[in-house]
Structure formats: C-alpha cells, structure tokens
Amino acid sequence: MSEFSESYHIRTTAPKAVLGRLRQAGFAGLAFPPANGWLTFVPFPTCRALGRFAQAGQPLSAVAEEPVLEYQFAEDHGWSLVLYRPGHPLSRLAQAWDPEPAADTSEFDIDGLVEMVADPAAANAIRGLLATVPAPDVALRFAEALGLPAYRWLSPAYAQNDPDSFKAQGARQVGSRPKDPLAGIVCPPVREVVFPRPDLSACEALELFNGVMGKSHADWFPAEIFCQGGPPILNAEGRLTHGGSWCVKYRQAEGPAVIRASVTPASGNRLVFMADRIDFIGNRPMPEAHVDRRPPVALPADMADSPEIMAAAMVFPVPDDLGPASTTMIHLGRPWTEMTHWEVNRWWRHRHNPHERVAELAQAVDVHSARLLGSTFRRFDGRDVVGMPADFGGEDDRLKDDPPVDPFADWTE
C-alpha cells in the first residue's frame, strides 16, 4: 500500500497557548511535540470545528492566529504545500510525477516560506529542491529541510482510525475522538484472478470487479472508473498495458464511504485484484451534520467501452513530428452528477528528455454513443488551442452540436 499523508504545521513560539485556542474552538486531534518552531497538529476529520472546510489549514490558521503549513504527500502521484497566513493570500506549491513530472508554482511565495526557516543552509536546500525534477524523494527532502516534526504516514483519517500508534510516537490527544464512520466496513481480500486476456478494456475490468464485489458487497455499486500506473497505461486500442491498473470506486446508496478496488496484470492471463483502501467522498469524511445527502450516481449500464472511446479520441491523426503519446489515461465518474462523457488525456514527452513534457491533449467523448464532443490541446510553451474547456464539468449542451475541431491543426514543432 502506498503512502497518502496530510499534516498541518503551525508556526508558533507559544504552542501551549495555541493548543488552548484550538481546544476552546472545538478542534479535536493529535498534537506532536513542537520542534524547529513548528507545532504539528492533525485534526480528527469529523471534529465539529472543521465544519464544511475541505482542508483544515484555513480554520486552523484563523483560530491559532498563526501561519499554518499544509503538507500533502501521495507516494504514487505527487505532493503539495499550502501556506495559510492571517492577512495574506494563500501560497500554493504542487508537484506531480504521475503520469508525468509536472510542477505548479504560479501561486507559490517561496520568500514567504523561506523567511520562516532560520537555518541558511536549509533555506538554500529548499530553493534548490524547487528546481529539481518532481519525485517522491524531493517531497520528503523538502519536509526535512523545513524541519517539520511529523509528516510520514500521517493524516486526519489515520489519526482518527488509530490514534494509539501515534501516541506511542509522542503525540498527545486534544479533545475527544469522534465516532469512526468506517467502523464495520471491510474490504474484499486480495486475490489472483484468471481472465481470457490480461489487457482489459474498461467494461471487461468492470465485469471482473462486479463479479468479485458482488459476492461480499452486494449493496455497493460502481460510481467511478479510471486507469493509472506506469506509462503508457493504455495502448492505442484503449486496453490496459502491463504497467497499468484499472481502478473502480464503489459507493453505497447512503453514507460517505468509498471502497477503491484495482486490478493489475500479473503474468499470462492472471491479474491481481485488490481493494486496499476505504476512503471518503472528497478523501475525507464530513461531520455527520454536513454530509451531502444527495444519492451518489452509478456508472451507466450501457456505457461505451474504452476501445470505442479511444477510437473516437484518435479520429484526428497525430502529427509525425509529435509522435505517439507517452501516456494515455481515461476517466468516468463524478459524485452526484449525471455522467455524460468519458475524459481522455494524453501526454507527450520530449524525445531526448523524458522528464520534460511537450504537449497534452484533453478530450471529452460521449459516454453512450462514443462521439467526440471536443478537445483542448496545450503545448508547454504556453500556447493553447481552444476547443472544449479543459474542465469538462460544465456539461454545456451547446458543445454537443458543434463539430469537433482538429486539435492538431495549428501544431508546429
């Protein structure tokens, strides 16, 4: 199981007073021994003080009256920092290595962060890491250079599910631990399955998933399907490659819990089925009073399969000098909304520098008819060719009547 961590670090010279303010405001969670000017506090995700906040940084900073640094690390995907400072705009940094190395520093105030670090060598290390190709070790070295007291295998969900293991590491509980909303939910066991062919299409993978889940979780239904893993993930026919995985998120008619299942080719016609994560909508449980009561939406029973989707997405030929995409991913499913289209994403890397992306193409394909609805092509020199907006959440019916535009029409090396 890969690491997913989320921790909050309050910059303060008065940790005792800060904890008193947090307790008085209704925060409950785990506080770690202060170090290097940081007080690490991880709130229980269902504590009443969080209310409807998706992340804890903003309410923590407001109550503590101090800067708060939010640190997130997803071992297989990327990492991020958000600095909350009373009276200042948010400062954000995000880096990813799945499916391609990428970084967004457009809203990141490096000077505002570095001025909190007393050691000049650590400050120089932080600036140097920003220029490094994104990778898991970069994220961990960044946290180490900042001197954060605790950040590995740590998150609000981990803290609430197993506070005793963190107390053994020196953490102290603040407030009362809320009731665990996942109590009694058990994932199906890991197993090896045999399928006629290992390069599964989306619908073949869903058939496999439903067969396994139906035996022990008959009241759960598939609400989202996507692929991930090592590039290229999907081949040109829309089928899984050896380094990829199909993932499906299962929901119940009521409640915020999510079981994420995955299937990965092993050898021959064998595949490995895993359901190793119990999650929440939005990756965190909401306090009971704030749970969205709208029923979740199941994947369409008559959805077009991934080979049909890829055939529609590849109707326009890729320029010879651009070449085959290095990574291809598709995704279907959004909480509480009607599913009208598959999202198809392709990325191209530089021929001589595999860490450098050259271009990306995002497309929308009708979920039932497999008709291409629109495309957005972006070169990494900042030029956009506008077709359908990159965020396909708008469900603009007018776009369905417009003929798709060749996204490569203006491409030049």
Q: What is the pLDDT, as a whole number, of residue 230?
A: 82
pLDDT for residue 294 is more than 70: no
Range 133-157 average pLDDT: 93
The alpha helices in 168-236, defined as continuous H runs, are 202-216
pLDDT for residue 355 is more than 80: no
**Beta carbons of 151 and 74 less than 8 angstroms apart:** no
Pair (43, 108) in one structural domain: yes
Residue in the structure block whose two tokens are 């969900």? 157
Predicted confidence band at 6 (pLDDT cuts at 50, 70, 90)? very high
- Per the DSSP assignment, residues forming a β-bridge with 278 are 259
Distance between first and last Cα of the chain: 41
Pair (293, 304) in one structural domain: no
AA identity, residue 360: E
Query: In this structure, what token pair is assigned to residue 165?
Result: 């293991």
Pair (334, 293) in one structural domain: no
pTM for the model = 0.64
Pair (50, 152) in one structural domain: yes
Query: In this structure, what token pair is assigned to residue 257?
Result: 């819990």
Range 93-105 average pLDDT: 86
Instruction: Give 269's Cβ-side CA count (13 Å radius).
Output: 4
| 290 compared with 241, residue with greater pLDDT | 241
Pair (189, 166) in one structural domain: no
Query: In this structure, what token pair is assigned to residue 48?
Result: 């009443």
Pair (16, 151) in one structural domain: yes
Please state, in angstroms and as integers, the Cα–Cα distance from residue 78 to each residue in 123, 146, 391, following that order.
Answer: 22, 18, 20
Q: What is the pLDDT, as a whole number, of residue 69?
A: 96
- The domain of 167 spans 4-174
Query: In this structure, what token pair is assigned to residue 161?
Result: 């599910």
Range 366-380 average pLDDT: 87
| 137 compared with 385, residue with greater pLDDT | 137
Pair (253, 237) in one structural domain: yes
Query: In this structure, what token pair is assigned to residue 215?
Result: 């035996």
Pair (134, 229) in one structural domain: no
pLDDT for residue 102 is more than 60: yes
| 309 compared with 123, residue with greater pLDDT | 309
C-alpha–C-alpha distance, residues 27 and 166, integer Å: 18
End-of-domain residue from the set 237, 264, 299: 299
105-131: pLDDT as tens digits: 889 999 889 888 878 888 899 999 988
Q: What is the pLDDT, as a whole number, of residue 339?
A: 78
Range 380-390 average pLDDT: 45
The alpha helices in 218-349, defined as continuous H runs, are 306-313
Of 13, 84, 80, 75, nearest to 53 by C-alpha is 84
Q: What is the pLDDT, as a whole number, of residue 391?
A: 39
Q: Is 299 helix (H, G, I), strand (E, B) or coil?
A: coil
Neighbours of 184 (CB within 10 A): 6
Number of residues written out for the chain: 413
Range 270-292 average pLDDT: 60
Assign residue 288 a region (left: φ > 0; alpha: ψ between -120 and 50; beta: otherwise): alpha
**Beta carbons of 300 and 221 less than 8 angstroms apart:** no
Pair (329, 248) in one structural domain: no
Range 338-348 average pLDDT: 87
Predicted confidence band at 376 (pLDDT cuts at 50, 70, 90)? confident
Q: What is the pLDDT, as a whole number, of residue 270?
A: 86
| 278 compared with 23, residue with greater pLDDT | 23
**Beta carbons of 228 and 329 less than 8 angstroms apart:** yes
Q: What is the pLDDT, as a whole number, of residue 264?
A: 92
End-of-domain residue from the set 251, 279, 299: 299
Calculate the CA dihedral of residues 312, 316, 320, 321 and round it to 10 degrees: -100
Q: What is the pLDDT, as a whole number, of residue 280?
A: 58
Q: For the sheet containing 270-280, what is the strand order?
A: 191-194, 270-280, 257-265, 244-251, 221-229, 327-332, 341-349, 357-366, 372-379, 384-385
pLDDT for residue 289 is more than 50: no
Q: Is 293 helix (H, G, I), strand (E, B) or coil?
A: coil
The number of domains in the chain is 3
Mean pLDDT, the chain, rounded, equals 84
pLDDT for residue 201 is more than 90: yes
**Beta carbons of 246 and 202 less than 8 angstroms apart:** yes
Pair (351, 270) in one structural domain: no
Pair (389, 295) in one structural domain: no
Pair (117, 208) in one structural domain: no
End-of-domain residue from the set 139, 174, 209: 174
Instruction: Give 86's Cβ-side CA count (13 Å radius).
Output: 12
C-alpha–C-alpha distance, residues 386 and 218, integer Å: 44
List the beta strands (DSSP E) in 101-171: 102-104
Q: What is the pLDDT, as a whole number, of residue 7?
A: 95
pLDDT for residue 282 is more than 80: no
Q: pLDDT above 70 covers what percent of the chain?
A: 84
Predicted confidence band at 136 (pLDDT cuts at 50, 70, 90)? very high
Q: What is the pLDDT, as a whole number, of residue 263?
A: 92
Q: What is the pLDDT, as a whole number, of residue 181?
A: 65
**241-250: burial string, b at 16+ Cβ within 10 Å, e else:** beebbbbbbb
